[in-house]
Structure 1
Amino acid sequence: MRASSPSEDFTTAFADSTLRVDLIMSGGGGTEAAISLQGLKKWDGWAGRRHFLNKLPAPGNGTIEVIDPLSADTLYRNSFSTLFQEWLSTDEATDTQRAFENTLLLPLPQREAEIRVTLYDARHSQMASGAFRYNPGDPLLPTVRAPHYEPTYIHRSGNPDQAIDILFIPEGYTAAEADKFMEDARRISSEILSYEPYRTYRDRFNISAVMIPSAESGVSLPHKGVWRDSAFGAHFYTFGIKKYLSSPNMRRLHDAIDALPYEHIVLLANTDEYGGAGIYNNYLMTAAGNELSLPVSVHEFGHSFGALADEYFYPGKETDQYPLDVEPWEANITTNHGASPKWEGPQYEGGGYRVKGIFRPSETCRMRDNDYPEFCPVCSSAIEKIILFYTAPPAE
C-alpha cells in the first residue's frame, strides 16, 4: 500500500480530485505533429500517487506536466506512450494526415496552472508540444458528480489513494454476457497477479471491473469484413497488422468510466481471435476468448504497466522502430549506446523487432515468448521498480 498520509507538497498544490485532460494528437502527410486540447473535466477523488510528484515512473514516449505559472516549478509529471506515435512510423503516415484521441488524468491543481504535453520521437527528440492553461474558476469546466456504473472489486488491498488501481472494462460483451465478462476479468487478473513480481506485491493492487454493455457481441474483424457495434469500436488489423487490437475511441471510453477510481485500464475484448495491445500508461487490450489470452494479457501488461519493450523479432519482418545508434528508453532492450551498460550479465542479440543490433537480457522471457512462464530478472526488476515508485513513500 501507499504511504498512509499524503505528502505536504501534494496537499499544498493539489486537491483530492481528478482533472481529466482530453487531447487530439494529429499529423502525418508531411505536416508537423500537433497536440490540441479537446476538453477538461473534474471529479472528486484522486486515485494516483501523492509522492514523487515531479518524477517519472519511466521515460515513455511522452510526458504531461503541471507547471506553476508564477514560479515555473514542475508540480507533477507523468509519462505515457501513444498509438499516434506508432502510426507515424507507418507507410500511411507519409502521405496521409490523421488525428488520434488521447486522455490523461492529473491531480486537480488548487490554483491556476499550465498543463504541458510533450511527445518525443525514436531519437528522444521533442516532436510536438502543447501548453494549456487550467483555470479553477472556469464556469465551463464540467464536474462529474457520480460514476455512470458501479464497479465490482476482484482484488482489494486498500483505499484507491493507497494502492495501484486497475480497472477491467468489457468490449463487445452484451448485457446478457455480464457474467462471462466478470469470469474473464477474474481469470485474467488472477493470472497477472500469479507472476513475479506482482505476486510479491499483490497487496499493493486494487483490481475492479465495471460492466459496460455493448449493443452487439464481439469486436470488429476488418480483415474478415466483420464489423460489430461494440461499446468502444475496438478492432483488429490496426496498421494492417492482423493481431493488433485497438480502440480509436478514447474519449468515449473515458466518458463511460468517469469518476471511478482507476490508474491503469485493461480492456477485455469478447473474441476468440488471437491478438492484443499494450500501450504504456494508456491501456491494455486482450482477446479474452482466445486460448492464449492468459499469457498475452501478462505480456501486454508488461507494456502498459511495466513500460517494457517487445523482445521478439522475426527474420524478414524487421522494423526500424528503434534506431540502432540510439539507446532505447525501455529497461529490457539495449543498443549499447547508453552511458553505461543497462544491466549486468549476458546480452543476447535480437529484440525490439530487429535480428541484429538490439540486445535483450535473457535467452527467453515473458516479453519474448508466449509459452515462457515468467519474466526474466531484468524485466522483473523493472516492474518491481515501477510498483515501488507508485506505492513506496519517499525516504525521510
Structure 2
Amino acid sequence: MRSLITIIGIGLLWIANISHAQQVATVRVDYHHSGNAKTEHFALDRVLIEPLPWPGNLNKNIDHTNRGVNLFEVRDKATGNLLYSRGFSTIFAEWQSTAEASKLERGFQESIRFPKPTKPVNIKILKRDTQNQFQTVWSVDIDTDAQDVVRKQAGSVRKPIPIQINGASSEKVDLLIIGDGYTQKEMTKFKTDAKRLSDFLFSVSPFKERAKDFNVWALAVATKESGISRPSTGKYQASSTGASYDIFGSERYVLTLDNRALREIAQHSAYEFIEILVNNDTYGGGGIFGQFSTAAAGNDWANYLFVHEFGHHFAGLADEYYTSPVAYQTGNDIQTEPWEPNVTALKDKAQLKWQQHVKADTALPSAWPKQSYEEAARQFQKVRADLRKNNRPESEMSALFKKDLHESSLLFSKDPNFRTIGAFEGANYEAKGYYRSQMQCLMFDRSEQFCRVCQDGISAIIDLYSK
C-alpha cells in the first residue's frame, strides 16, 4: 500500500497514516465475554483482517507497563514465542461488581487487535488474581490465513478527517475521535468539536510536551437525530456507535455496549486509542483502559470530561475521587495494592509507587483538610442529586460544579501540603484505605492539570506507542 499524502491549506504537508515500510495487516479477534458476579466465560465470535494495515510500531510489540485488569498475549503456536501483548480492562469487569451481576448473567462483546502473524498462533487472555498476578482465563488457537477469516475490502474504507498529523502511524500514537449523535448537517460541528477538544488535550501536560508524538483523526457516521439516548429522561435515539447515558444505572456514565458497531466504524482509520464525542449538552462521559473513552462535547465541562476520561482509557489512571456515587465497585481488596499507577493502599511505604517524587521529610500518610472537604462534598452531592431528580437546566448543574471547584481549590490552596507529593487518604472511590499522591489532580476533581504521578503514568504509555 502506497503512502497517502494529503495537503491541507498552503504549505501544510500531512504525512500518510501508514508508512512505506508498514505492510503488515491488522487482525481483529471479536469474542463474547459473559458470566455473573462469580463466573466468567469466553467464546470466539470471529476473526477479521481489517481494511487498513497495522498502524503500530512493530519494534514495540511487547507491553511491559503492567497496566490493566487483563492482559492478552499472542504466541507462536509451534514455538510458544511471545509475538505481541497488551494490557487492557473491560466493561464486563466493571459490570461484574454491580448489584445486577449477583442476580443474572450477561454477555458483552469485546475485541483485541494485533499485527498479522505469518503462522498460526495461540491467544491467551489473562486476568489478575488476588495477588495481582496475571493468570490465564482463556486460550484459543487461531490461524489468520484460515478460509473463515473475514477479510475487509479496502475499497469500502471511509475517509477519516486529519485533525493533527505529525508523521507515519508506525512512529506515532494514533488517536481516533469518533462522533456520535451528529446529523449530516452537523458534520462541520463535529469537526470543530474534535479540533477544539484535541487542542485542549494538548494544552495539558504531559500531552502538551509530547504533542508531536500523536496523530489525531476524526470520523463520524451521521445519525438521523442530534444526540444520543438518555434513558433516565425517557429519551431513546438511534446511535451510530450504540453510546448511551445511564450505563449501569449511573445517569452521568456514558459508554457503548455495542462493540461491533464501534469497531466497524473505527476500522476505517489508523488508531490505537478511541474517544467518542457524543453530541449532547448533559454532563457525562466514561473511559475503559485500552477500549475507548467518551465525553459530552456540548457540556460546559467538555474540556475536563475529554481529558479525564481519556486518562482512564489511555493510561489506566484510577479515579482519585471518592465522594461521588458510582455504579460499580473497584473490585479491589484493600489488602491488595491496586495496579493503577496513581493510587496506592500504602501497605509498604518503602516501596511506594511514586517514592522518587517524595521528599525524605514528608509524612506518610500526608495531612490534608479531609474532614472539611467531606462535609462540603456531602452537601454538594445532595444538591447535585436534587438537580437531576427535578430535571433542572444543565446551566444550574454547571454553576454548581463551578462553585464546588472554586471552594475546594480555595480550601486546598491554603493548606501547607497543597503542593506536596505524598500519600493523601481518599481515592479509588474509597474514603479510607486508598491514597493519592497529591491533594488535587485532574483525576480527583474538575481542575485541569494532572498531578506529577499521573503525568508519569501517561508518559509511559506514550513511550510504548511512539518512536
- Give the TM-score taking structure 1 as reference length: 0.91
What is the match of residue 368 of structure 1? 444
The AA in structure 1 aligned to 2:163 is: I
What is the match of residue 65 of structure 2? 57
Query: Is 1:93–2:101 an aligned residue pair?
Result: yes
What is the match of residue 342 of structure 1? 353
- Indicate if the aligned counterparts of 1:35 and 1:128 stay in contact, CA closer than 8 A: no
Superposition pairs of residues 23-172 of structure 1, within 5 angstroms: 23-28=31-36, 32-43=39-50, 44-120=52-128, 124=132, 129-146=137-154, 147-172=156-181
- Indicate if the aligned counterparts of 2:71 and 2:86 stay in contact, CA closer than 8 A: yes
TM superposition shift of 1:312: 0.4
> What is the SS of the residue equivalent to 1:227?
coil
- Indicate if the aligned counterparts of 2:73 and 2:82 stay in contact, CA closer than 8 A: yes
Structure 1 stretch displaced more, 267-276 or 68-77: 68-77
The AA in structure 2 aligned to 1:251 is: R
Identical amino acids, percent of aligned pairs: 32
TM superposition shift of 1:148: 3.3
CA RMSD of aligned residues (A): 2.3
TM superposition shift of 1:227: 0.3
Where in structure 2 are there 5+ consecutive unaligned residues? 1-14, 359-421
- Indicate if the aligned counterparts of 1:218 and 1:269 stay in contact, CA closer than 8 A: yes
TM superposition shift of 1:364: 0.4
> What is the SS of the residue equivalent to 1:26?
strand
TM superposition shift of 1:55: 2.7
Query: Is 1:264–2:273 an aligned residue pair?
Result: yes
- Indicate if the aligned counterparts of 2:171 and 2:465 stay in contact, CA closer than 8 A: no
The AA in structure 1 aligned to 2:352 is: P
Query: Is 1:330–2:340 an aligned residue pair?
Result: yes
> What is the SS of the residue equivalent to 2:107?
strand
CA displacement, residues 327-385 of structure 1 (integer Å, 9 cap, x when unaligned) = 00011000023681111221111000011110000000011111x23111111111111
The AA in structure 2 aligned to 1:231 is: S
Whole-Å Cα distance in 2 between the matches of residues 37 and 263 of structure 1?
A: 22
Where in structure 1 are there 5+ consecutive unaligned residues? none
The AA in structure 1 aligned to 2:466 is: T
TM superposition shift of 1:176: 1.2
- Indicate if the aligned counterparts of 1:236 and 1:244 stay in contact, CA closer than 8 A: yes
- Indicate if the aligned counterparts of 1:233 and 1:249 stay in contact, CA closer than 8 A: yes
TM superposition shift of 1:123: 5.4
Task: Find the partner of 1:247 among 252, 256, 271.
Answer: 256
Task: Find the partner of 1:281 among 284, 290, 294.
Answer: 290
Task: Find the partner of 2:452 among 357, 377, 391.
Answer: 377
Superposition pairs of residues 210-229 of structure 1, within 5 angstroms: 210-229=219-238
Whole-Å Cα distance in 1 between the matches of residues 462 and 165 of structure 2?
A: 16
Select the structure that is richer in helix.
Answer: 2
- Indicate if the aligned counterparts of 2:163 and 2:216 stay in contact, CA closer than 8 A: yes
CA displacement, residues 173-214 of structure 1 (integer Å, 9 cap, x when unaligned) = 111110111111001111111111111111110001012111
Whole-Å Cα distance in 2 between the matches of residues 63 and 328 of structure 1?
A: 15
What is the match of residue 3 of structure 2? none
TM superposition shift of 1:65: 1.0
Structure 1 stretch displaced more, 256-265 or 338-347: 338-347
Q: Which has the larger radius of gyration?
A: 2
Structure 1 stretch displaced more, 52-61 or 138-147: 52-61
The AA in structure 2 aligned to 1:333 is: V
What is the match of residue 387 of structure 1? 462
Query: Is 1:190–2:266 an aligned residue pair?
Result: no
Whole-Å Cα distance in 2 between the matches of residues 315 and 189 of structure 1?
A: 27
The AA in structure 1 aligned to 2:144 is: P
- Indicate if the aligned counterparts of 1:217 and 1:230 stay in contact, CA closer than 8 A: no
Whole-Å Cα distance in 2 between the matches of residues 53 and 175 of structure 1?
A: 38
Query: Cα 1:155–1:29, aligned 2, differ >3 Å: closer, same or farther?
Result: closer
CA displacement, residues 55-84 of structure 1 (integer Å, 9 cap, x when unaligned) = 333420111111112221211100111111
Whole-Å Cα distance in 2 between the matches of residues 294 and 315 of structure 1?
A: 20
CA displacement, residues 128-158 of structure 1 (integer Å, 9 cap, x when unaligned) = 7222222133112121122531111110010
Query: Cα 1:315–1:357, aligned 2, differ >3 Å: closer, same or farther?
Result: farther
- Give the TM-score taking structure 2 as reference length: 0.77
TM superposition shift of 1:215: 2.5
Whole-Å Cα distance in 1 between the matches of residues 255 and 225 of structure 2?
A: 17
Query: Cα 1:122–1:196, aligned 2, differ >3 Å: closer, same or farther?
Result: farther
What is the match of residue 318 of structure 2? 309
TM superposition shift of 1:125: 5.8
